[in-house]
Amino acid sequence: MSLMLTACGGGEESSPDKSNPAPQPSENKAQIVIIQGDEEALEQKVFELKADASDSDGSIASYTWSHDSELEISFSDKDSATTEATVPDIAEDKLINFTVIVEDGKGASASESVSVLVKRKV
């Protein structure tokens, strides 16, 4: 006994369905970040900076804090949403810009800066 099967594809060449195109990968959107903290601080006193960040199409993978001063400013943790900074003894009041960069796991990043006036203790 033998069995033979045949099938017909409708008689037309197969072509991609133009009414239902393949879904395109969505664009990776940049994060939104805001820094909270005091606008003024005292030299040799700890002050806190906090980054509130959100990512509408994912999650925040990393934080990196920096500053634009030649002073040796210490951070409690440069790689977290919240950090504490301490400015050493200064000769005069100094305006310092602190910046946080947030990144997601997909290559998008955003940054925000805040200026803090560091005052001498007198």
- Does residue 8 carry a pLDDT above 90? no
- The dihedrals phi and psi of 46, each to the nearest 5 degrees, come to -75, 135
Instruction: Look at residue 64 and tell me whether its pLDDT is greater than 70.
Output: yes
> What pLDDT digit, counting tens, does each position of 11-39 carry?
555 555 566 766 666 677 878 999 999 99
For each of the domains in the chain, give its residue range(s) and CATH number, in order of start.
32-119 (2.60.40.10)
Q: What was the pLDDT predicted at 7?
A: 47
**Banded pLDDT at 6 (limits 50, 70, 90):** very low
Q: Give pTM, 2 decimals.
A: 0.76
- Which phi and psi angles does 37 have, rounded to 5°? 165, 170
Q: How far is CA 45 from the centre of its chain?
A: 27
pLDDT digits (tens, 9 = 90+) for 78-112: 999 999 999 999 999 999 999 999 999 888 999 99
Cross-strand pairs, 112: 100
